[in-house]
Amino acid sequence: MQRLPGKIAFVTGGARGIGYAIVEKFVAEGAFVAFIDVDDSLGRDAAHQLGEARGDVEFHRADVTNELEVRETIAAVIRKHQKIDILVNNAGINAYFDATQMSEAEWASISKAHGSARSTRCARWSPRAAGPSSTSPRFTRR
C-alpha cells in the first residue's frame, strides 16, 4: 500500500543523487513531487525520467541560495497545488577534498548552499504550507 497518496512534496536538489532518489521514492509512494535544482539540464532530464509526462513530478530551476527564486517557486507550487505537505532541504555541495586546502571562495559557496535552507523559510510564508491541522502563528506570519 502506498504511504503518500494525495501528498504534495517539495524537494531541493532533486536532479541527481540523494535528492533524485527521494523524489523517485516519494512518487512510488503516491506523492506528487515538485523539485528544484540549480542545474537546469539535469533537472529537465530527471523530470522526464521521474514521470513528468504522467503528472507525477514537476521541475523548476531554482538556486537555494537565491531567496527570491525559491520564494517565487514555492509560491507557484502552492498556487497550483494549494499546499506543500512535505519539504526536503536536500540541496548541497559535496566537498570531497581537504577542508584545510579549500579556498575562501570554495568554503563560502559550500557554506552558503548548506546554510541557506531557504525553502523552509519560504514555505512558512504560506499558512496552507503548514497543513490544515497547524494553528501555529509562525506559519502565518510574514
Ligand X SMILES: NC(=O)c1ccc[n+]([C@@H]2O[C@H](COP(=O)([O-])OP(=O)(O)OC[C@H]3O[C@@H](n4cnc5c(N)ncnc54)[C@H](O)[C@@H]3O)[C@@H](O)[C@H]2O)c1
Binding residues for ligand X, per CB under 6 A?
12-13, 15-19, 36-39, 42, 63-65, 90-94, 113
Q: Which is nearer to ligand X, 13 or 130 (CB)?
A: 13
Contacts of 68-71 spanning 24+ positions with Cβ under 8 A: 70/36, 70/118, 70/119, 70/122, 71/118, 71/122, 71/125
Q: Which is nearer to ligand X, 39 or 128 (CB)?
A: 39
What residues contact 48, with CB distance under 8 A and at least 6 apart? none
Least Å from the CB of residue 117 to ligand X: 10
In 3-state terms, what secondary structure has residue 73?
A: helix
- Between CA 95 and CA 108 the distance in angstroms is 12
Least Å from the CB of residue 15 to ligand X: 4
Least Å from the CB of residue 70 to ligand X: 8
Q: Which is nearer to ligand X, 94 or 101 (CB)?
A: 94
Least Å from the CB of residue 5 to ligand X: 26
Nearest to 119 by CA among 57, 50, 44, 63: 63
DSSP β-bridge partners for residue 59: 35
Least Å from the CB of residue 136 to ligand X: 27
Q: Which is nearer to ligand X, 81 or 114 (CB)?
A: 114
Q: Which is nearer to ligand X, 17 or 131 (CB)?
A: 17
- Between CA 46 and CA 96 the distance in angstroms is 24
